Amino acid sequence: MKQMLLRSHKGIFSNRSSLVLRAMLKSPEKRWSARDFLKEGVSVGLANQTLCRMEQRGYILRKLCGRNSSSQLVQKIKLITDWVQNYSLDINYWELLHYPGKYFLPLFASFMKEEGIQYALTGFSASRLISPYVLDNRNFVYVNTPFEKFQELLELLQNKLGVLKLAQGGNVWIGIPYYESSVFRDMQILQRYPVASNLQIFLDLMKLPAGTEEVEHLKKFYKRKGELFV
């Protein structure tokens, strides 16, 4: 069973600093001031610190002119590549469960709606709703619940949906996200289900077996639409 909680991730890929990265990746053509990130939930001090580190890594170009200073993303691919290298699924807190039936997602969605708990699909659960390619039927879902109530949620799932705790393995990954500041804020709705952002889906898929194949398929899928996956 994979069950880890790592909160020691530091640097620009940490939970709070990554809000700067996510914002700049959404609008790579924009020139950002440190104060622009206040609306992203990032203090001016942390924004400046993160921008300084991004400049050192060559991701951005900065023009320092006092209050008129600005920063622009210039190495998007390098930033995303380095992020993948610095990311691990184990940085989230996961429980692996097993659902013996065939229709986990609609039942799970109804259950979460009744309980009033926010969730977001990721990994192959999310990519299946976009354009499925790899035959991986596992379910990957982040839940927005306090850590101290997580086990209570798992017990409810066992009692009401019949999910099982096995000694090893499972087809349902339920986790509390390390990126708690962005996962639920940046959700999208696909086929009536809440799904993590494309960036988060990408990060998670890149760390799963056959996930790189799914990512390449999704890149081609979005390209045909004249869009970018990430």
Q: What is the pLDDT of residues 85-128, one digit of tens each?
A: 999 999 999 999 999 998 999 999 999 999 999 999 999 999 99
Which backbone phi and psi does 193 adopt, to 5 degrees? -110, 140
Residue with tokens 């009401």: 160
In this structure, the number of other CB atoms found within 10 A of the CB of residue 55 comes to 14
Three-state DSSP state, 25: helix
Give the domain 89-224 fold. Beta Polymerase; domain 2 (3.30.460)
Identify the band that residue 9 occupies on the pLDDT scale cut at 50, 70 and 90: low
Q: What is the pLDDT of residues 159-186, one digit of tens each?
A: 999 999 887 889 999 999 999 999 999 9
Domain map (residue ranges) of the chain: 18-86, 89-224
Confidence at residue 42, expressed as pLDDT on a 0 to 100 scale: 97
Confidence at residue 2, expressed as pLDDT on a 0 to 100 scale: 41
Three-state DSSP state, 12: coil
Q: In whole angstroms, what separates CA 223 from the centre of its chain?
A: 21
How deeply is 69 buried, as exposed, middle or buried, from its count of CB atoms within 10 A (0-12, 13-18, 19+)? Answer: middle
| CB-based contact 189:113 (threshold 8 Å) | no
Three-state DSSP state, 32: strand
| CB-based contact 128:214 (threshold 8 Å) | no
Cα R_g (the chain), whole angstroms: 19
Give the domain 18-86 fold. Arc Repressor Mutant, subunit A (1.10.10)
What pTM value is reported for the model? 0.93
In 27-174, alpha helices (H): 44-57, 76-86, 104-115, 123-130, 150-161
